[in-house]
Structure 1
Amino acid sequence: MTYCVAIAVDAGLVFCSDSRTNAGIDQVSTYSKMYRFGVEGQRQFVIMSAGNLGTTQATISRIKRDIKERAATSLLTVESVSEAAEYLGGISREEQDKHASRGSGFEASFIIGGQIAGKKHRIMMVYPEGNHITSSHDTPYLQIGESKYGKPILDRILTRDLELDTCALCALVSMDSTMRSNLSVGPPIEVLVYRTDTLTLDAPLRFDEDSEFLREVKRSWDQRLKEAFRQMPRFAWAGQWDSQARLAAVNDDDRD
C-alpha cells in the first residue's frame, strides 16, 4: 500500500510519501514514490505515485525519456501545471492500456505539483482514468493511496496562510496516523518542500525507520492526543445534559 500527500499554501508546496511496496505478506520492498524534474530558475515539478508499481515506473521512465530526447511535449515544454497533469495522465493511460487484455490491477494514480516561471504554483491529482483535479482554498491538500487515516489532521490544521514548516509537520503527523493504522505503509518517509517563486527545490528529507525525529513526532503526537482526550467533558455529564435538554423540551410542549 502507499500513502502520499501534497499541500499547497501561499508560502509554497509540501510533498510527503512513504516508500513501502507490498506484493503479498512476504514480499515487502522499498521504492521511492517521489520524483523531481525541472530547470533551476525556470520550472520545477514533483511527482508522487501510487498503484501498480510496473505502471508507475513505466510512466516515470517515459517522462524521463521524453525529456532526454527533447520530445515536442514534455515537462520541459508544457506551459502550466494543469497541462503537465494532462500530459502525465495521458502517459499513464497508455501504459495501463498496454496491459488491458490481461485484466485489471494495472491502475495508477499520481500527484504532480510545482511552478513554471510567471505562473502560479499548484498541485494536481491524476486519476487512473487520466483526468485530474486540483486543490482548493478550503481543502489545500491532495492525497493518493491509503488516505483515510491521515485525513482528519489535515482537515483540522491546514489553512492557506500557514508556514511551510507547520505544513511539513502536519504532513508527517498525517503519515504517522496512517502508519499506525495500516502496517503496509511505512518508512523510509520522504519530505520535499518548494517555496513560492524560488523555482528551485529544497533538498529532500528522508526519515528511515530508526529516525529519532520520526520517533519523537510519534511520541509527542500520541502523548498530546491522550492529554487532550483526558480533558474532554465527562461522558456522565454529557448524558445528564441530554436528559435535561429532553426535560426542557417536554416542558415547552406542555406549555404549548
Structure 2
Amino acid sequence: MTYCIAIKTNTHLIFASDSRTNAGPDHVSTYSKIFSWGIPGKRQFVLLSAGNLATTQDVVMQINRDIREEEETNLHTVKYLSDAADYVGRVSLMMQNKHNNAQMTSGFNAESTFILGGQIGLDPPEIFMVYPQGNHITCPAMTPFLQIGEIKYGKPLLDRVIVEDTLEEDAIRAAMVSMDSTMRSNVTVGPPIEIISYDVGTLTPGQYRIFRNSDAYLRLLRKRWGEALLEAFGTLPELPVLSESQKASLSSSPALQKLPVKSAPVISDPDIAQ
C-alpha cells in the first residue's frame, strides 16, 4: 500500500510520501513514490503516486520521454497546471490500458492515482488529485491538503492542524506525524519518508528531505508524539456519574430487556468438571 500527502499553504507546497511497496512476512520492497520536474525560473512540478507500481513507473518514464523528445505536449510545454493534470491523466490511462491488455488476468488491477502540484510562471500554485479514470480535482480552500493511498489513519491530525497560513516547519511536522500514525496502524506503509518543500513564487526545485527508520529526528518525533498523546489522554475529563434516575431508566430500557439470556455451558467432560 501507499500513503502520500500534498499540503498547500500561503507560502509553501509540501509533498510527503512513504516508500514501501511490499510488506509480506519475509519480503519488504521500497521504491520512491515522489518525482519532480521543472525549468528553474519558469515552472516546477512534483508528482506523488499510489497504486500499481508498473503503471506508475511507466507513467514516469513516459513523462521523461516526452520531455526528452520534445513532444508537443509535455510538462515543459503545458500552459496551465490543470493542463498538466489532464496530461498526467491521459498518460496514466494509456499505461493502465497497456497493462490490462497484456495481463488479461482476472483480479489484476493496473490502476494508479496521482497527486500533481507545482507552479507555472506567475500563476498561483496548485495541487491536483488525478484519478485512475484520468479526471482530476483540486483541494478546497477550507481543506488545503490532498491524500492518496492509505489515507484514513493520518487524516484526523491534518484536519486539526493544517490551514492556509500554517508555517512550513509545522506543515512538514504535521505531514511526518500523519505519516507515522499511518505506519503504526498499517504495516504496508513504511519508511523511508520522503519530503519536498517548495517555496511559492521561487520557481526553483523544492528542498528534498529523506527520513529513514533509523533517523534520529524521526525516532524522537515518534517518541514525543506518543508521549503527548498519552499525556493528553490522561487529562481527559472523567465520565459523569450516573444518577439514580438514569440507572433506573437504563435498567428499564426496552433494548436491554430484549437481549437474550444465555445459560451457562454444560460441561460433559468429567476431567474438566473436576
- Using a 3 Å threshold, how does the CA distance of structure 1 residues 23 and 214 change in structure 2: closer, same or farther? closer
Which stretch shows the higher mean deviation, 146-155 or 103-112? 103-112
8 A Cα contact 2:23 2:187, kept in partner: no
Provide the C-alpha distance between the structure 1 equivalents of 2:16 and 2:155, rounded to a whole number of angstroms: 13
Partner of 2:229: 225
- Using a 3 Å threshold, how does the CA distance of structure 1 residues 238 and 16 change in structure 2: closer, same or farther? farther
Letter of the aligned partner of 2:75 in structure 1? L
Deviations 1:128-164 (A, max 9, x none): 1111111111111001111100000000111101111
Q: CA deviation at 1:201?
A: 2.3
Letter of the aligned partner of 1:231 in structure 2? T
Q: CA deviation at 1:206?
A: 0.4
Partner of 2:165: 161
Q: CA deviation at 1:80?
A: 1.3
Provide the C-alpha distance between the structure 2 equivalents of 1:10 and 1:209, rounded to a whole number of angstroms: 31
Provide the C-alpha distance between the structure 2 equivalents of 1:238 and 1:85, rounded to a whole number of angstroms: 56
> What secondary structure, in the 3-state scheme, does the structure 1 residue paired with 2:188 have?
coil
Q: CA deviation at 1:88?
A: 0.1
- Using a 3 Å threshold, how does the CA distance of structure 1 residues 126 and 25 change in structure 2: closer, same or farther? farther
Letter of the aligned partner of 2:156 in structure 1? P
Partner of 2:193: 189
Provide the C-alpha distance between the structure 1 equivalents of 2:35 and 2:242, rounded to a whole number of angstroms: 52
Q: For 1:96-135, list aligned pairs within 5 A.
A: 96-101=96-101, 102-103=104-105, 104-135=108-139
Q: For 1:140-151, list aligned pairs within 5 A.
A: 140-151=144-155
Partner of 1:60: 60
* 1:35 is aligned to 2:41: no
Gaps of 5+ in 1: 247-256
Letter of the aligned partner of 2:220 in structure 1? E
Q: For 1:169-248, list aligned pairs within 5 A.
A: 169-235=173-239, 237=240, 239=242, 243=246
8 A Cα contact 2:55 2:99, kept in partner: no
Q: CA deviation at 1:239?
A: 4.8
8 A Cα contact 2:78 2:84, kept in partner: yes
Q: For 1:85-96, list aligned pairs within 5 A.
A: 85-96=85-96
Answer with 1 or 2: which has the greater Rg. 2
Q: CA deviation at 1:243?
A: 4.6
Q: CA deviation at 1:45?
A: 0.2
Provide the C-alpha distance between the structure 2 equivalents of 1:224 and 1:23, rounded to a whole number of angstroms: 29
- Using a 3 Å threshold, how does the CA distance of structure 1 residues 238 and 149 change in structure 2: closer, same or farther? farther
* 1:137 is aligned to 2:144: no
Letter of the aligned partner of 1:4 in structure 2? C
Provide the C-alpha distance between the structure 2 equivalents of 1:15 and 1:138, rounded to a whole number of angstroms: 18
Provide the C-alpha distance between the structure 2 equivalents of 1:239 and 1:10, rounded to a whole number of angstroms: 49
8 A Cα contact 2:16 2:195, kept in partner: yes
Deviations 1:107-144 (A, max 9, x none): 10000000001101010001111111111111110011
Percent identity between matched residues is 49
- Normalising by structure 1, we get a TM-score of 0.91
> For the aligned residues, what is the CA RMSD?
1.7
Q: For 1:72-83, list aligned pairs within 5 A.
A: 72-83=72-83
